[in-house]
Amino acid sequence: MRSIIPSQLVRSIRYIAGRIGNAARDLLPIVVVIAIFQLVIIRQPLPDFGTILIGSLMVVIGLSMFIQGLEMALFPIGEHMAHELARKGSLFWLLVFAFALGFSTTVAEPALIAVSQKSANIAAQGGLLDNNPGTLNRYALGLRLTVAVSVGAAILIGVLRILLNWPLHVMIIGGYVVVMLITVIAPEEIIGIAYDAGGVTTSTITVPLVTALGVGLATVIRGRNPLLDGFGLIAFASLLPMIFVMVYGITVFGI
Amino acid sequence: MDIISDLVVILIGSGRDLAPIIVLFLFFHLVVIRQPITNPRRTLGGMMYVYLGLSLFLAGLEEALFPIGNIMASQLTDPEFLKGSSAAVDLGNWKAYGWVYVFAAAIGFATTIAEPSLIAVAYKASEVSGGSISQWGLRITVAIGVAFGISLGSFRIITGTPLYLYILVGYIIVVVQTVFAPKTIIPLAYDSGGVTTSTVTVPVVAALGLGLSAAVPGRNPAIDGFGLIAFASLFPIISVLGYGQFAQWYGARGKR
């Protein structure tokens, strides 16, 4: 017993250190670029340097804990469900699963939480929303749920596309046309955040899971080329949020 | 001490943020699959990690990532800094903000080249294409697309021109390229637009845009502030399609 515990401890410390190293690598390019600009071009002390340093540490540790927790709790459940569904062979539950995967990985996306909060604050500063915490939180939550539903719908459509072999480029180009048409009637203040929502949704958590789903499906179904059919799920996940968020903007702010 | 009191507020908030996913998760387990959770202690532990990790991340974001984007925007647009050697600067003129474009491009390129999701996708792409799509080729192509995109997006914020015009032109370019590009690169190109912006990059870039729109005279953050991330998602599509076209042309030339 005694000899086991230290080696386990060493292993788990090494593991956690590795995780934090991964998260730090995410932050490193930003640190390098900003350091160069501060030292060579701006040549001014960075205000609140201490706070920023502590904050960056919190970001790194928080992100690594978050991903670690997902791998412990969410991913095994997801894999388990995918397995069960494949065994059942039911199209309906596969589509429900596709939707749930898109929805749940997006609703907990940290960047989306941050940006929707920011968007609520900006809208309040611009006098579009009442500046009280209740209204702002409702708006931010509504924005997040809208985006999450749209990503769920996007993954669902993407899976249908792989199953039924619909042409990707026709659908994407059709989507672009819809984006442009809605832009004409959407309120000006929602357009920026709506266009951004497409890029915010598909980050750290969503991409690996969704790409794996797509390539996996295309590999399993006969007559599908993983390169041609497996990719393309993320494209929908970047496109549909723009449309849904603009519709959300129309319902909140009016035309 | 501020950080600690903020953290408590955020702990309460992120409980609410995570509630929908937990409800969904329980629903699936109890109603759809109707099986007990296989390893409840591990799952509960993972949930705690997710909860604490998210709270720490969001607290750190307020202290570090948002301020950094904001500070860079205000320092690079500071009239004192812009003056440099010349005596007078016209703050309404987009040419005055040269370093902003350089910074935007640098941050876009650096974060994209190191982006883990892009590395994963590039690996998958090179694997399933049998090596004809090189990992580094794809990563550099996407990074150039993002660098150009964020730089052009900063130009849009500074000039205050409408966002949809740029996106419309970008879409038209994508559509035309789609017609001519080799078929296998198309889904990959469409996807690469989405994988560029990671959880760490998005707040910095968003804050840069909002900071710029607040600092440049005559701009309104509510209208001009957002949109940088959209540029970062659109331009990689163009650059990857271009890469595919170039590879095809190069390959065809080699055969002759």
* Structural domains counted in chain A: 2
Last residue of a domain, one of A72, A101, A123: A72
Q: Are residues A227 and A134 in the same domain?
A: yes
Residue B238's pLDDT is what? 93
* The pLDDT of residue B252 is above 80: no
User: Is A15 a domain residue?
Assistant: yes
Chains A, B: CB pairs < 8 Å: 344
Please state, rounded to an integer, the average pLDDT across all residues of chain A.
80
Same domain, A68 and A106: no
* CA-based nearest residue in chain A for residue B105: A33
Q: Which two tokens stand for residue A1?
A: 């017993």
Residues A171 and A45 in one domain: no
Q: How confident is the model at residue A205 (pLDDT cuts 50, 70, 90)?
A: low
Residues A169-198: what's their mean pLDDT?
89
| Averaged pLDDT for residues A90-107 | 81
Residue A150 and residue A58 share a domain:
no
Q: What is the pLDDT of residue A217?
A: 66
Asked if A79 is an interface residue toward chain B (Cβ–Cβ < 8 A), one would say no
Q: Does A103 reach chain B within 8 Å, measured CB to CB?
A: yes
The interface residues of chain A toward chain B in range 125-144, judged by CB-CB distance below 8 A, are 125-126, 128
On the question of pLDDT at B111 being above 80, the answer is: yes
The ipTM estimated for the assembled molecules is 0.81
- At residue B34, the 3 state secondary structure works out as coil
- Considering A19, A39, A72, which residue would you say is the last residue of a domain? A72
Question: What's residue B146's pLDDT?
Answer: 92
Contact of A52 with chain B, judged by CB distance below 8 Å, is answered with yes
User: Could you tell me if A229 lies within 8 Å of chain B, comparing CB atoms?
Assistant: yes
Torsion region of A231: left, alpha or beta (phi above 0 gives left; psi -120 to 50 gives alpha): beta
What's the rounded mean pLDDT across residues B96-119? 85
Residue B6 burial (CB count, 10 A): 14
Determine the residue of chain A that is closest to B210 in CA distance. A122
Contact state of A232 with B190 under an 8 Å Cβ cutoff: yes
Shared-domain flag, residues A128 and A226:
yes
Q: Which of A37, A110, A208 sits opposite B58 (nearest CB)?
A: A110
Q: Please tell me the predicted confidence (pLDDT) of residue B148.
A: 94
In this prediction, residue A149 carries a pLDDT of: 94
Task: Determine whether the interchain pair B59/A58 forms a contact, defined as Cβ–Cβ distance below 8 Å.
Answer: yes
Last residue of a domain, one of A17, A46, A72: A72
Q: Do B199 and A77 touch (CB under 8 A)?
A: no
Partner-chain residue, chosen from B64, B168, B228, that has the shortest CB–CB distance to A180:
B168
Evaluate whether residue A77 is within a structural domain.
no
Range in A158-162, B4-8, B66-70 the model is least confident about: B4-8
Pair (A142, A169) in one structural domain: yes
Q: Do the Cβ atoms of A203 and B197 come within 8 Å?
A: yes
Q: Is residue A35 part of a domain?
A: yes
pLDDT of B133 reads 78
> Range with the lowest mean pLDDT among A109-118, A173-182, A202-211, B35-44?
A202-211
CA gap A177, A75 in Å, rounded? 36
* One domain, residues A129 and A20: no
What pLDDT is attached to residue A1?
46
Say yes or no: A220 contacts chain B, CB-CB below 8 A.
no
Does A84 reside within a domain? no
Together in a domain, A181 and A224? yes
For residue B163, give the nearest of A46, A195, A232 by CB distance: A195
The amino acid at residue B157 is I
The boundaries of the domain holding residue A46 are 1-72
Report whether pLDDT(B229) > 70: yes
Record: contact B198-A203, CB cut-off 8 A: yes
Q: In this complex, do A51 and B63 lie within 8 Å of one another by their Cβ atoms?
A: yes
Q: Quick check: is A81 in a domain?
A: no
Question: A178 CB near a chain B CB, below 8 Å?
Answer: no
> Does residue A70 belong to the interface with chain B, where contact is any CB pair within 8 Å?
yes
Interface test with A, best of B31, B152, B198, B202 (most A CBs within 10 A): B202
Q: Do A206 and A178 share a structural domain? A: yes
A122, B200: Cβ pair inside 8 Å? no
- What are the backbone dihedrals phi and psi of residue B181, each rounded to the nearest 5 degrees, phi first? -75, 155
Chain B partners within 8 Å of A209 (Cβ): none
Concatenated DSSP letters of chain A: -TTHHHHHHHHHHHHHHHHHHHHHHHHHHHHHHHHHIIIIII-SPPTTHHHHHHHHHHHHHHHHHHHHHIIIIIHHHHHHHHHHHHHHT-HHHHHHHHHHHHHHHHHT-HHHHHHHHHHHHHHHHTTSS-SSHHHHHHHHHHHHHHHHHHHHHHHHHHHHHHHHT--HHHHHHHHHHHHHHHHHHS-HHHHHHHHHHHHHHSSTTHHHHHHHHHHHHHHHSTT--IIIIITTHHHHHHHHHHHHHHHHHHHHH--
Residues A118-156 have pLDDT tens digits of 899 888 887 778 878 888 888 998 999 999 999 999 989
Q: What CA–CA distance (Å, rounded) separates B48 from A69?
A: 7
Q: Answer yes or no: is A130 within a domain.
A: yes
Interface with B, mutate which of A12, A49, A96, A113 (most B CBs under 10 A) = A113
Query: Is B191–A56 a contact, with Cβ atoms under 8 angstroms apart?
Result: no
Q: In this structure, are A103 and A43 located in the same domain?
A: no
Q: Is residue A105 part of a domain?
A: yes
Tell me the nearest-neighbour CA distance from A192 into chain B, angstroms.
5
Q: Which of A54, A74, A204 sits opposite B199 (nearest CB)?
A: A204
CA distance B255 to chain A (A): 24
A83 in a domain, yes or no? no
Same domain, A97 and A53: no
Q: pLDDT value at position B156?
A: 92
* pLDDT at residue A5, rounded to an integer: 58
Q: pLDDT for A32-90, tens place per residue? A: 888 888 888 777 777 778 888 888 888 888 888 888 887 787 767 766 666 666 666 67
Looking at the fold, whether A67 and A121 belong to one and the same domain comes out as: no
B147 band by pLDDT with thresholds 50, 70 and 90: very high
